[in-house]
Every structure is written in C-alpha cells, then in structure tokens.
Amino acid sequence: MSEPSNPARLPNPARRPSWRGPRALALAAGLAVLLVLPFYAGSFWLQAGLFAMSAAVGAIGLNVLTGAAGQLSIGHAFFLAVGAYSYVWLAAEPETAAGHELSGLGLPTWLAAVAAVGLAGLAGGACAPLAGRLKGASLGVATLALVFIGQHVLFRAEPVTGGVNGRAVPPLELFGLRFTDVPQPALVLGVPFGGLERLWYLGLAVLLLSAWFARGVLRSRPGRALNTVRDNEIAAGALGVPVGRYRAAAFVLSSMYAGLAGVLLALVFQRTVPDYFGLALALDYLAMIVIGGLGSVGGAVLGAVFVSVLPSLLTRYGDAIPLVAEPGSGSGPSPAEAARLIYGAVFVAVLLFLPGGLLGLAARARRRRAAPPRNGPGGRNQAPPHTSPETEEQPA
C-alpha cells in the first residue's frame, strides 16, 4: 500500500500565485515611463513611438477582425488611406500646389478627424457584404484588391489627394491647443513642448482608449460570439448567433480603427503620399498581429511596436550592425530591407514554435513560474492545477 502523499506538498489552487498584482504594477510602471518620456527622449524616439502608437491602433482593429472573428483581411492599408486622406481633404482649405488645384472643405480639424474615422467605417460598411459572405483565402484575395484599387485612385484623384506628390496635412487643433511646432513653444518643467511632445500625449490617449474599448468588446457578449463564429460558424448559427451580421460588424469596427490610425499617422508624417499605403503596409499589419499574438489587444500592441520600431532602429544604428548598408548604396540590404528580413524570420519562427505569438511566450513563462515545486522521488514537477494553455492564453 502506498504511503499517502503529504498534503502540505500538494498544489493548492487556493494558494496559486496571482499575477494580477504584478501585472498591474508592470502596467502602471510602463504607463509612468510613457508619461515622462517626452521630458527626456529626443525627437527620434518620440517620432518612432508615435509611429508605433498609430500602428498599434490599426493592429488592434485588425486583430478584432482576424484574431477574434477569424476573417482574413489584407486590405487594412486601404482603410488607413481612407482615414488619412479623408482628414486632409476635410480639414484643408482649397489651394494650389505644384501646379495642381487642390480642393478641401476647410472644416475644423477635430471635426475632420471624427468625420474621417466615420468615412473609414462607411467604407468598411460598403465592403461588409464581402465579409458576410466570404471567409478565409477568398476574403483575403477580395480585400487585397482594395489595396490596388485604392492606390490607383490616390494617384489619379489629384484634386483631392495631390497625386504622386501627396498633400500637406493640416495640424490638428483641439480646445485651442495646436498640435504642431510653433516659433515659441510653451515650457513645461523647463522642456519646450513642440508638436511631437503634444502629439505624444494625444497618441497615448488615443491608444489607451482604443485598447480599452477593444478589450471591452472582446470580453463582452459580442466578443464571445465572434470567437464562436471563428471556431465553428455552424455551431454559432445553431446557438442563435447571426453569423453574417457579426462578421460585417467586425469588419466595420476594424475599418474605423484603421481610419483612426490613418489620421494619427497623417498628423505624425505631416504629409500623405500614395506610395506608403501599398501592399507592403498591408502585409506589415498582418505580421504585427501574428507576431504579437492573434485575438488579444496586448498582442496587437506588442507586435505593432516590434514591426514599426525595428526599421527606425536599424536606420539609426545601421552603421554599427554588420551587413546593413546605406539606402541606395547597393552593398547590402538597406535598413528597411533588413527590418523586413528580420521580422519575416520572426514571423516564420512564431508560426512554427509560438502559436500564441510573443504574448503567448510571456504566458508560457508565467505558467512555468506558477508550476509547483519538485515533488516525489522522481523529482519531476507535478502538473499545474490549470493545465490547459488556452486558459492562460485567452484573448483579452
């Protein structure tokens, strides 16, 4: 008869370490760093951070569509272009630039920003029947066509878009605050607050609100319905979930996120050019959500930071990195090409070894630390009380 196990050595679910406290502390520390960063960081880091914030907002929207609803979309760049160019056209005054007569409505910039997000949502609604009827590769090919059609329109509609040369972006004005550089910027704690510093806090607020809203959607009844549609649409229909309607709603919401990211991106760039909103940008967004982790807000933000900041880092520190050459020199891959090679390799590695993305890697580390101490004569770890990886890697 075997000896009874020592109850004191058995894993006690009630004593399972809680990660909510450390996670909350880590989030608070990260937020504090982001809040004080404009007082210490230079323009390079602020601009790279703003690009990452814009990318994160767009990636969150794409993760709602692809990660939660299971709808493959390669046309995210099209909706970013709709948001960016709609803001420029709605906010700009009619002008003449490079020999072209450019039109504009001259609306208040804050109203133009809101309307641009709404127009992106309308564009998504116009494409929603595709999302309601198609899925998988068929929907991916259909949305890919949007990118090529959109770029053709951007090049040809010169009175609205400025054609190949693009258009200057009117700076945003909100509550009397102008988000651009001024001759004599205000001093805050001795630091001159120019356009980048002001945009930093605007972008941070937009990102936090976007993440909070998406997190609420994914954790609520619509989010659970989207997950059911993704896993088994027949079962979802049998449970009373209107599959087509939920897919269309996810498409519209994702398009509005893309429009918001496009407005923020235009404000940071200060100029819109059609070449930027091409196939490469659409693939970048797919890489963001796969590398970070499908179906979670945190994964979208993590992947967006990785994909968007890496080219800037390689450009700045390319001299110290072997095999990276100056752009146009022809002696090696440029920083942008090297960045694509690196995150392409990471993309493949994540697909092969990390199904949950970089966020899944963090969840795996937490499970390993939460495992009970070595027990028994064999010295092997007992299985943790929660053995299902899906329990830890639930979408946010």
Cα distance between the two ends of the chain: 47
**CB 80, CB 304: distance < 8 Å:** no
Q: What whole-number percentage of the chain has pLDDT above 90?
A: 28
33-40: average pLDDT? 88
d(CA 157, CA 89): 12
What does the pLDDT look like over 134-152, one tens digit per residue? 777 788 888 888 999 999 9
pLDDT for position 115:
96
Residues 6+ apart with CB under 8 A from 28: none
Among 158-167, 185-194, 197-206, the range scoring the smallest mean pLDDT is: 185-194
In the three-class reduction of DSSP (H, G, I as helix; E, B as strand; rest coil), residue 232 is classed as: coil
CB-count exposure of residue 42 (10 Å: 0-12, 13-18, 19+)? exposed
Residue 163 reports pLDDT greater than 70: yes
pTM of model > 0.75:
yes
pLDDT for position 328:
65
CB-count exposure of residue 176 (10 Å: 0-12, 13-18, 19+)? exposed
Amino acid at the residue 140: G
Residue 394 reports pLDDT greater than 90: no
pLDDT for position 204:
94
pLDDT for position 330:
66
Among 148-162, 311-325, 348-362, the range scoring the smallest mean pLDDT is: 311-325
Q: Which residue has the higher pLDDT, 210 or 382?
A: 210
Q: For strands 177-178 and 271-272, give the pairing.
A: unpaired
pLDDT for position 375:
56
Mean pLDDT, the chain, integer: 81
- Per-residue tokens: 195: 């356009």
Residue 272 reports pLDDT greater than 50: yes
Residue 388 reports pLDDT greater than 50: no
Residue 329 reports pLDDT greater than 70: no
Residues 6+ apart with CB under 8 A from 262: 58, 79, 80, 81, 82, 83, 84, 85, 87, 116, 120
pLDDT for position 136:
76
34-38, 103-107, 205-209, 305-309: which is most confident: 205-209
- Per-residue tokens: 390: 């899906």
DSSP 8-state code for residue 165: G
d(CA 372, CA 380): 10
What does the pLDDT look like over 355-379, one tens digit per residue? 777 777 777 777 776 666 655 544 4
pLDDT for position 292:
86
Residue 7 reports pLDDT greater than 80: no
CB-count exposure of residue 10 (10 Å: 0-12, 13-18, 19+)? exposed
pLDDT for position 6:
47
pLDDT for position 324:
72
d(CA 314, CA 232): 42
Distance of CA 387 to the CA centre of its chain: 30
292-321: average pLDDT? 83
Among 1-15, 272-286, 290-304, the range scoring the smallest mean pLDDT is: 1-15
d(CA 169, CA 258): 18
Amino acid at the residue 111: L
Q: What whole-number percentage of the chain has pLDDT above 70?
A: 84
pLDDT for position 356:
76
Packed helices 279-292 and 43-62: angle between N→C axes, nearest 10 degrees: 80
**CB 141, CB 248: distance < 8 Å:** no
- Per-residue tokens: 245: 């309607």
